[in-house]
Structure 1
Amino acid sequence: MLGRKLMLVDDEEGLRRFLGLTIMDFGYTVETAENGEAALKLLKTFQPDIILTDIKMPRMDGIDLLKAVKSDYPHIEVIMLTGHGDMDLAIESLKFEAADFITKPVNDEVLELSLERVMEKILLKRQVREYTENLERLVEDKTRRIIELERQNAACQVVESMSEALSSAADEIETGSSMFNELPCLVSIHNRYLEIVATNKLLKERLGDVVGKNSFDIYSDRYSAGNACPVQLTFETGKGQRSKETFIAENGEEIPVTVYTAPIPNKNGEIELVLDISVDMTELKRLRDELLETQYKFQRLFDEAPCYISVQNPDYTISEVNRRFKDDFDVPIGLSCYSAYKHRETPCEECPVQRTFRDGESHQMETVVTTRNGERKNMLVWSAPLRNAYGDIKQVMEMSTDITEIRRLQDHLTSLGFMLGSMSHGVKGMLTALDGGIYRLESGLRKSDAQRVSDATKTLKDVVGRVKKMVLDILYYAKSREIETEEIQASQFLRDTAALINNKAAAAGVAYSTEIPEELGTFQIDSSSMSAALVNFLENAVDACDTPVPGKTHAIKVSACDKNGNVEIKISDNGTGMDKETRDKIFTLFFSSKGKKGTGIGLFISNQTIEQHGGKISVESEPGEGTTFTINLPRTVETRKQPSSEVCKHN
C-alpha cells in the first residue's frame, strides 16, 4: 500500500505554504524544506515517496539535491520545478534520473497528473521488488531443508567410520541392550553362514522377526547367496561396505535404505560377525521428490515471469536466463551482460548488479536495451543477491521490466511541456537576432554598404530558417498532422536542400560535396518537412566534423540514386562516429551525444518524418571513422498521420 508521502523543497515560503495545501488536498502527507541542505537533514526522519523541488535555490540547488537523493535514496522519485528560463537545467535533470519536471507557475491539474503518474511508477517498482524477494525466500527455504537432510546423511557416514569400534557391541544387540534399541537406524548382526542372529527393536518393528533368516532375505532384489548382499561382500572382502539398497517390510512395502556394514573379528582376528546399520531414506526420498517438484515449479515461474531475468557472476558473465529473455535476445550464456544485450565494451556506470555484489542490497536503474530484432526497449532493472548456505553472495539475479509504453507516454507529455517552455525562450532570442539583422540591413541601405547589406541578409536568412524549424517542431508535437505531399523533381529538391548548409560547412572548414544525378525522376513528398528532416542529418554531420584532428581533412558527401524504384539518399561524414550503444539510441526522444549543445529532438523528428513518408533509415558508424545515414524513400506515398511520438525501431 503506497504511503503517498511527499517532501516539498523551495526557498519561497509563500509557495511552500500554498502549494503544500494543494498537494495535501490531493491526498498526500506533506513536509517542507527551504533548501537542499535542509531537505537532506529532513530525509533522516521523514522518508517520502516523492520529492518536489525547485531547481534554483541558495546553498544547494535542485540538481545537486537530485544527485544526492539518487545516490543515497534511489527509490525516492524526484520531480523538478522550473521557470521558463531554466529549460536547459530541466533537461539536464532528466539525465540524472528525475522523474518529471513542471514549469512555474504551477497548474494544479498538471501537478496532480504528474504526481499520479510518478506514484504509478513507484507502485510498479515495489511490485517488482516484492516479486524478487518472494523468489529469494522460496530458494532459501528449500536450500535449508536439503542442508538438514545432508547433515543426517553425513551422520550416517560417521557411523560407518565408527563401525570397527562396535565389535564389542554384538552381545549388547543379542541381549537387547537399550543403546542399540534407541538408535534411529535398522541394526542387525549376521554370522558367517549368512544368517541373521540379532536385530534391534526398530528393525523388528519395520521388518518383523527376521532372526534366523538368511541375510539376503530382507532385501527386495536378493534371492540367494549367489546374488551377493552387502553382508556377504563384507565377509568376502574383510572390509565394510556402503550401498543403497531396498528392504522388504513386514507388510510387503519397499523401504529405501543406505546400508553400512562393518566386520566384527574374534580373538584370533578372523571375521566372526558382520554389523549391519541401515538408515531409512524414505523421508529423504520424499523431500528430494518434493524438492524436484519445487524446482520444476520454480523453473516454470522463472520462465513464465512477465519480465527478463538473468543470473550473473561477479565478473559480469551470465550463467542463466529465463525463456522470455531467450525469445528476445541472442542466448548470452557465458557472455558479459554489457556486451550481450547493451552492446557496450565496458560495464555500465552504477551497474546495479555490481552494487549488489558490494553491499548485498537490491538496487535499481533505468536503461535502454536492443533486442535481436533491433527493437529498443526502456527497461526498469532490479538486482537481488543469491546467497549460498553460508550467507555469501555467489551470484546476482537481474530482473528487467519493459516500461517502454510508460516511458513513451511520459516522454510525449513531457515533450509538450518542454516545447512550450523552450519556444518562449527560443523565440525571444530569435527576435533579438531579427532586430539586430534589420538594424544592420537598414544601416547598410542608408550607407549603400553592400557588404553590410549582404551580412545582414545572411543573418536574417539564418534566423528565418530557425523560426521555420521551430514552427515545424510545434506542429509535430502539438497535435497529430497529415503530411501534404506534392510531386516534385527529386534532383532539384535534393540539390536545393543540400545547398542550405554550404555556409555552415565552409565556416567549419569541412569539405562538402554532392553527387546527385541530373535525372533522378520525381517523387511525392511534403517538401517542407522532408527538407527540415534532411537538414537535421546534414547539420549533425557538420557537428560531427567540428573537432579538428591533426593531419585529417574532414569531409561530408551527399549522394542519391535510384534503388529498386525508390530514391536512396546517403549522407556520409568522416567525423567522430558513434559506438553501438549510441547508434541504438540516436532516434530516441531527448537522447543527445552532444551534451548541452543538443536537445535530442532533431533526429527524433526527422525519423518520424521519414516514417510518415513510408521510408526507412539505416545507420553505419564506427568511433573515429565517421557515419553514413542511408535514407530510402518510395516514389509515391499514402498520406499517413504522425506516428504519435513512437521511438524509432531501426538499427
Structure 2
Amino acid sequence: MSETLLLVDDEEDIRRFLGLFLADLGYVVHAAANGEEALAVLDEVDPSIVLTDIKMPVMDGLELLKRIKARNPDIEVVMISGHGDMDLAISCLQNDAADFVTKPINHDILDAALKRIDEKLAMRRELRQYTQNLEKLVREKSSRVVELERQLAAGQMAETMCQAISGLSADLGEGTGYFNEMPCFVAVHNASLEVVATNQLYKDRLGDMVGRHSWEVYAGQALRGFTGPIWKTFETGKGQRCRETMLCKNGNELPVMVHTSPIAATNGKVELVLEMAVDVSEIKRLQEELRVTQQKYMDLFDATPCYIAVRDREGTVVANNHRFVEDFGEGVGRACHDVFAHRSEPCPDCPAALTFADGEPHYHETVVTTRDCRQRNVLISTAAIRNAAGEVVEVMEMSADITSIRELQSHLTSLGLMLGSISHGVKGMLTALEGAVYRVESGLRRGDIPRSQAAAEAVRTLVGRVRALVLNVLYYAKSRELAPETVDVAAFAASMAQTVAPKAAREGVALETAIGADLGEMAVDAVNLQAALVNILENAVDACVADTAKPAHRIAFRISREGRTLVFDIEDNGMGMDQETREKAFTLFFSSKGLRGTGLGLFIANDMVVKHGGSIALASEPGVGTHFSVRIPETPPAPAEAVREAATS
C-alpha cells in the first residue's frame, strides 16, 4: 500500500527534487509552500505522513505541527530544520513530532526515518483492525450471552460463560487469525500464573513459554513472581501498565511497555489475563542518543577556553560555562554588567544590546574585573540565539582573555600614544628653542652680553626639557633600570608642590601642603618619580575642576615617614570615582576624562612606584572625593626583586 505524503517547504527547488526522491520511494507526494497552504491541502488529500520545514513565512513548521496534531493525532509529522538547534528538536518531539531531520538532508537518514514511520503506521492499522475484530467478537459473544440469558437458567448461563472463555483461550492458541498477526507480544495467562497461549511473534522472539510460569519471561523476576503485572491484574481485577524488561530466547534483554487486561467470568472473578507487550528499544535508543548529544554540547560548552555567558533581553545571565564561574563566580540570575564590570547600570557600548537590536554579531574590547579583583583585557564577540520563528530571544557572549597580548604590546603602544600626545609639545619647544637661539645671535651681533647670556640660559632650559622628554620616550620604548640618587625628602616634596601650585591657583583650587619634620633623605629616581607624583597631583586638580556641585575645592598634600617608608598622601574633595573607575584606574588606555585624557598617566605613575618597591592605595566615592596614598621605601629594591614585586602587584 502506497502512503500519501504531504511535503511542505517554502523553497520550490527543495519541493521539486525532494518530491522526486520521495516518489521514487513509492510515496504519493503532494506539496505545499507554507503552513496555511498545507492545512488547505490536508483536508483534500488526507496524508498519513507530513514532511515539513520549520522556518517558513506565513506559518512556521512548529505551528503547523501543532495544528495538524489538533486535527488528526494519527498523522505522522517529520520536521526539517537548517539550524540543528537542540532545544528546537526537543520542542518538536514534545509536540509529538515523529522525527527531526537537519538540512542539508541526508537521503539515507530520511529513508530510515520514513521506514520507521511506515512500520509504525502498519502496526497501527493492524492493531486497529485487530481491535475492531475483537470488538466485533465481543459484540457477538455479548449478543449470544443475552440470548442465552433469555433461554437458560442462571446455572446454565454460568456454565456456558465458562465454556465460552475456554473456547476463547483455545481460539487464541490456534496458529491462524488476528491473534498471531498482532505486531506485539501477546500472551494469555490463567489464575495459576501460567502461560496458556502466545502469538507467533512472542514465540519467535521470547521462546515457547506455554505451560511455564508467567514471570519467567521477565528479566530478574524469577524469584518475585507474585509482584509482576500478571499477578497484580488477578489480585486487583484491573488492567496494569508498566515498563518491564523481557528476556529474549537468545539471552538478550528487551525493554517493553506492558499492558494487561482481565477476562472475567460471569461471577466477576478474573479467570484469564490478556498481556500485550510493545518493544520500546527504539525509543530508548533515541532517548540515549539525545542524552549523549546534549552531554556532548554541554562538555563542549564547558571546555571552551574563554568566558561564555548567555543573557536575555533584560541583561540577566541565564547560562555560563565553567571558565566563567572560575573567574567571576556563578552568574546565573545576575545582571551581566554587575558580574563583568561591577556596574549598577548597563554598559553604554554593550555589544549584546546591539545584537538584540539587529541580530548580527558584534565585537567589543574592554577591561573586566574578576571576583579576586584582577583586571583582564577581553575581546567580546556576540551571537544571536533565535527561536523557531527566527526571533532573537537570547544572546551568547564569548569573551577571549587577551591580557597577555595587551601586556606584550603595552610598551610599544604606550610609546605610540605618547608620541602622538606630545607632538604639539615638541613642536612648541622647538619653536621656543629657535626663538632663544635667535636672541643669542642677536645679542652677539649687537655686543649685548647680558641679553645673550639670558637667551643662552633659556636655550639651556629648553634643551633640558627636550632631553627629559626624549629620555621618557626611550624609557617606555625600552625598559631600563632605575637611576637612583639621594634627595632630601622635604625639598623633593616642596618641589612637587611648587610645580603644581600655579595650575591649582589658576583653577581656583586651594593646595594645602603639610611636609612633616625630620623626613630625612631617600634614594629614588628623582626625575621619573617626581613626574609620577605630579601626575597624581594634577589629576586631583582636574577632579576638583570637573566637580561643579561644591562651592570650593581643596587638595591636601601630606608627606610623612613610617619607619623606613615615606608616605605621600594626596586627598581632594573633587568628583570622586565609582567602583568601575576605581578598579580600572591604573589600567593602560583607561581614562575617565574622555577625549581630554590619554589613559597613560596613572598607568605610568603606578608602574614607576612599583619599580621603586612601593605601592599606591586608592579610596574614592562619587561626589565625595579621592584619596591616593603612595608608599615609597627610602631605598629602592634590587632590580631582580623589583621585577618580582611588579609581577605580583
Alignment TM class, shorter chain as reference: 0.5 to 0.7
1:533-612 to 2 correspondences below 5 Å: 533-563=532-562, 565-612=564-611
3-state SS of 2:603 partner: helix
| Cα deviation code 1:588-634 (max 9, x no counterpart) | 33322112211222222212211221222222122212111121212
- Distance change >3 Å, CA 524–CA 228, structure 1 → 2: same
1:429-508 to 2 correspondences below 5 Å: 429-430=428-429, 470-508=469-507
Structure-1 separation of matches of 2:537 and 2:592: 16
Q: Report the equivalent of 1:196.
A: 195
Deviates most, 560-569 or 295-304: 295-304
- Distance change >3 Å, CA 145–CA 184, structure 1 → 2: farther
3-state SS of 1:482 partner: coil
Q: Report the equivalent of 1:216.
A: 215
Q: Report the equivalent of 2:368.
A: 369
Q: Report the equivalent of 1:168.
A: 135
Structure-1 separation of matches of 2:388 and 2:209: 42
- Distance change >3 Å, CA 181–CA 620, structure 1 → 2: farther
**Is the contact between residue 257 and residue 282 of structure 1 (CA under 8 Å) also seen in structure 2?**
yes
Q: Offset of 1:310 from its aligned partner?
A: 2.8
**Is the contact between residue 164 and residue 262 of structure 1 (CA under 8 Å) also seen in structure 2?**
no
Give the TM-score normalised by structure 1.
0.64
Q: Which runs of 5+ in 1 are unaligned?
A: 1-135, 441-455
Q: Offset of 1:529 from its aligned partner?
A: 0.6
**Is the contact between residue 476 and residue 642 of structure 1 (CA under 8 Å) also seen in structure 2?**
no
Structure-2 separation of matches of 1:137 and 1:179: 43
Q: Report the equivalent of 2:241.
A: 242
Q: Offset of 1:550 from its aligned partner?
A: 4.6
Q: Which runs of 5+ in 2 are unaligned?
A: 1-82, 100-115, 138-167, 440-454
**Is the contact between residue 421 and residue 598 of structure 2 (CA under 8 Å) also seen in structure 1?**
no
Larger radius of gyration: 2
Q: Report the equivalent of 2:302.
A: 303
- Distance change >3 Å, CA 350–CA 601, structure 1 → 2: closer
Structure-2 separation of matches of 1:536 and 1:565: 24
Q: Report the equivalent of 1:228.
A: 227
- Distance change >3 Å, CA 256–CA 150, structure 1 → 2: farther
- Distance change >3 Å, CA 312–CA 212, structure 1 → 2: farther
3-state SS of 1:344 partner: coil
**Correspondence 1:520 to 2:519:** yes
Q: Offset of 1:385 from its aligned partner?
A: 4.5
**Is the contact between residue 612 and residue 642 of structure 2 (CA under 8 Å) also seen in structure 1?**
no
Amino acid at match of 2:564: G
Q: Offset of 1:302 from its aligned partner?
A: 3.5
Structure-2 separation of matches of 1:385 and 1:199: 57
Give the TM-score normalised by structure 2.
0.64
Amino acid at match of 1:543: D
Amino acid at match of 1:492: A
Structure-1 separation of matches of 2:259 and 2:582: 66
**Is the contact between residue 316 and residue 336 of structure 2 (CA under 8 Å) also seen in structure 1?**
yes
Q: Offset of 1:250 from its aligned partner?
A: 1.4
3-state SS of 2:516 partner: coil
Q: Report the equivalent of 1:323.
A: 322
**Is the contact between residue 214 and residue 225 of structure 2 (CA under 8 Å) also seen in structure 1?**
no
3-state SS of 2:598 partner: coil
Q: Report the equivalent of 1:450.
A: none
Amino acid at match of 1:310: A
- Distance change >3 Å, CA 467–CA 246, structure 1 → 2: same
Structure-2 separation of matches of 1:362 and 1:271: 68
Q: Report the equivalent of 1:80.
A: none
Structure-1 separation of matches of 2:469 and 2:182: 89
Structure-2 separation of matches of 1:279 and 1:263: 18
Structure-1 separation of matches of 2:510 and 2:595: 26
Structure-1 separation of matches of 2:640 and 2:411: 16
Structure-1 separation of matches of 2:292 and 2:494: 70
Structure-1 separation of matches of 2:621 and 2:268: 83
Structure-1 separation of matches of 2:389 and 2:178: 35
| Cα deviation code 1:152-196 (max 9, x no counterpart) | 99999x99x999989638879656677676665433344555443
- Distance change >3 Å, CA 351–CA 174, structure 1 → 2: farther
Q: Report the equivalent of 1:41.
A: none
Structure-2 separation of matches of 1:647 and 1:240: 78
Percent of matched pairs sharing the same residue: 46
Higher relative contact order (CA 8 A, sep 6+): 1
Q: Offset of 1:463 from its aligned partner?
A: 8.9
**Correspondence 1:207 to 2:174:** no
**Is the contact between residue 374 and residue 649 of structure 1 (CA under 8 Å) also seen in structure 2?**
no
**Is the contact between residue 559 and residue 568 of structure 2 (CA under 8 Å) also seen in structure 1?**
yes
